[in-house]
């Protein structure tokens, strides 16, 4: 009996690992196609033709010509890269810029970001409407605000496929002025409360949340948090109104790329004790002296969302108890400078690298005793999952996906032998300091700490549980009747 043919899905996103990445969104977009292939879904991913993407293409085919896409010439290219089936929106006037996909050299948003990503949504809608001969998706999977205008363009073009809008971080709305309706070729009704109007602006994210057939986010706890004013960022009423269409599915990580037993970027290991060579190498690379306490790490965007201002305040609780900190990250210049100053004030105990380096991040997790994620809010978080996988005990705030993935080392969990990390109250430097003191105390009892590390390394962090949930959601959406637009 022959297997059923894979069912086609169009994913729309601004990032996709390994081609272009600024955060966890890219990792998820890059990992989902393989995870869902085993469930019978064939995902083609539409991404912008940023320079790094274009440089990776080898003999792409022109899938669709777009001589006037919101006022600029463009085309959609088809290519296979790194095992991914990609559609690339090649529009040099919009994307042929060096540096960040979103920011100019001064760290400010590109002034035409609304047009750059509305064009991505328009191209997706044209594909949904049959723009690529011989291929038409059953449904669209839209990621974050950059894909948010897609349902509006679908309706204009009469493309009736269902769509799923995934919120990776509701803090970013993709706001622009109402006067941009004409430039974006959006109808006047888009600037209404029921579509995309948000306190006098157009919100690309809101357009996606009102227009998509279903909404999901990247952890069950974050799905609950989004219904509250504290986390909903002004959209909590809309989320509550669409509660029947809302779900939370926990992200996973690519366990082949992130495999401590076979990672070519580190000295491979299978047990916590075997991490020692990586720990020595990490200390040497960061200029840290041998220490009596744990080597904690941070790999993060530097922002107040990530709680790294709180960590500055709590830092004495770590270094004062023999611990050390190695940090890799970039972002807020104020925080970059503050952490560089902290490193200068604690030579041999605190070391900071400003920037991002994928290979170095592997070496950091491999050498770390603990990874710190003190976020004020965290939709899912992949950092703690990489830490779990590599035996770097997560010390995390009790929020979003952090709460869903780490088992706190309280007395009951330690007695049951199931603890995988330390969980503290968010928003509090003192709670974080107490968690760091607990980390150092656990480290002092090496047998207990090794047990926590072993638990962490065994904790499931891949897509085995989440992929079937996405597959079931896709199937439910694809089965819905497609009403005329």
**Which residues does the annotation place in the binding site for ADP-alpha-D-glucose?**
21
Cβ-contact 59, 286 below 8 angstroms: no
Distance CA 95, CA 12 (A): 16
Peptide bond into 18 cis (omega under 30): yes
Residues ≥6 apart with Cβ < 8 Å to 251: 24, 27, 28, 218, 219, 380, 382, 385, 401, 466
What would the two tokens of residue 483 be? 């009403």
Distance CA 239, CA 259 (A): 37
Backbone angles phi, psi at 385, to 5 degrees: -70, -40
Residues ≥6 apart with Cβ < 8 Å to 465: 250, 252
Q: At what angle do helices 308-319 and 333-345 cross, to 10 degrees?
A: 10
> Which residue numbers belong to the known binding site?
21
Give the C-alpha distances (Å, rounded to integers) separating 444 from 275, 352, 390. 17, 25, 20
Distance CA 249, CA 289 (A): 42
What would the two tokens of residue 384 be? 């703690």
Beta strands per DSSP E along 333-468: 350-354, 370-373, 393-397, 422-424
Cβ-contact 319, 346 below 8 angstroms: yes
Distance CA 52, CA 42 (A): 24
Distance CA 362, CA 218 (A): 23
Best CA proximity match to 90, nearest among 70, 80, 75: 75
Bridge partner list, 41: 7
User: Three-state SS for 11?
Assistant: strand
For strand 370-373 and strand 7-12, is the pairing parallel, antiparallel, or unpaired? Answer: unpaired
Distance CA 175, CA 23 (A): 20
Residues ≥6 apart with Cβ < 8 Å to 408: 419, 421, 422, 423
């Amino acid at each position: 009996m022959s297997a059923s043919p894979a069912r086609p899905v169009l994913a729309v996103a601004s990032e996709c690992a390994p081609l272009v990445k600024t955060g966890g969104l890219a990792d998820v977009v890059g990992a989902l196609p393989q995870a869902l292939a085993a469930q019978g879904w064939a995902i083609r991913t539409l991404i912008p033709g940023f320079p790094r993407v274009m440089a990776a293409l080898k003999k792409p085919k022109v899938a669709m010509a777009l001589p006037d896409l919101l006022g600029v010439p463009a085309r959609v290219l088809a290519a296979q890269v790194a095992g991914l089936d990609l559609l690339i929106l090649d529009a040099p006037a919009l994307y042929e810029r060096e540096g960040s996909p979103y920011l100019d050299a001064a760290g400010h948003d590109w002034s035409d970001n609304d047009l750059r990503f509305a064009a991505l949504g328009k191209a997706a809608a044209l594909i949904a409407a049959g723009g690529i001969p011989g291929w038409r998706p059953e449904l669209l999977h839209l990621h974050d605000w950059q894909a948010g205008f897609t349902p509006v363009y679908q309706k204009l073009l009469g493309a009736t496929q269902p769509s799923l809008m995934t919120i990776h971080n509701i803090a970013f709305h993709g706001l622009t002025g109402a006067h941009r309706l004409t430039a974006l070729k959006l109808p006047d009704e888009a600037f209404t409360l029921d579509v995309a109007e948000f306190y006098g602006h157009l919100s690309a994210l809101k357009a996606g949340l009102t227009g998509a057939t279903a909404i999901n986010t990247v952890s069950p706890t974050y799905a609950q948090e989004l219904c509250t004013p504290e986390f909903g960022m002004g959209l909590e009423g809309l989320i509550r109104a669409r509660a029947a269409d809302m779900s939370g599915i926990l992200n996973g990580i690519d366990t082949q790329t992130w495999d401590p037993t076979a990672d070519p970027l580190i000295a491979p290991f299978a047990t916590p004790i075997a991490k020692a060579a990586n720990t020595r190498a990490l200390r040497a690379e960061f200029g840290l002296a041998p220490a009596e306490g744990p080597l904690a790490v941070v790999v993060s965007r530097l922002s107040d969302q990530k709680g790294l201002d709180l960590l500055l305040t709590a830092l004495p609780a770590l270094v004062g108890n023999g611990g050390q900190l190695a940090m890799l990250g970039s972002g807020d210049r104020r925080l970059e400078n503050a952490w560089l100053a902290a490193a200068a004030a604690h030579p041999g105990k605190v070391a900071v690298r400003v920037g991002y380096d994928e290979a170095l991040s592997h070496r950091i997790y491999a050498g770390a005793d603990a990874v710190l994620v003190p976020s004020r809010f965290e939709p899912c978080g992949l950092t703690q999952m990489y830490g779990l996988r590599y035996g770097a005990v997560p010390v995390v705030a009790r929020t979003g996906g952090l709460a869903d993935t780490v088992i706190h080392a309280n007395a009951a969990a330690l007695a049951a032998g199931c603890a995988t990390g330390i969980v503290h109250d968010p928003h509090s430097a003192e709670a974080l300091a107490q968690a760091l003191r607990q980390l150092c105390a656990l480290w002092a009892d090496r047998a207990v700490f090794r047990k926590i590390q072993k638990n962490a390394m065994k904790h499931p962090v891949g897509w085995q549980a989440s992929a079937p949930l996405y597959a079931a959601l896709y199937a439910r959406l694809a089965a819905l009747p497609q009403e005329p637009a």
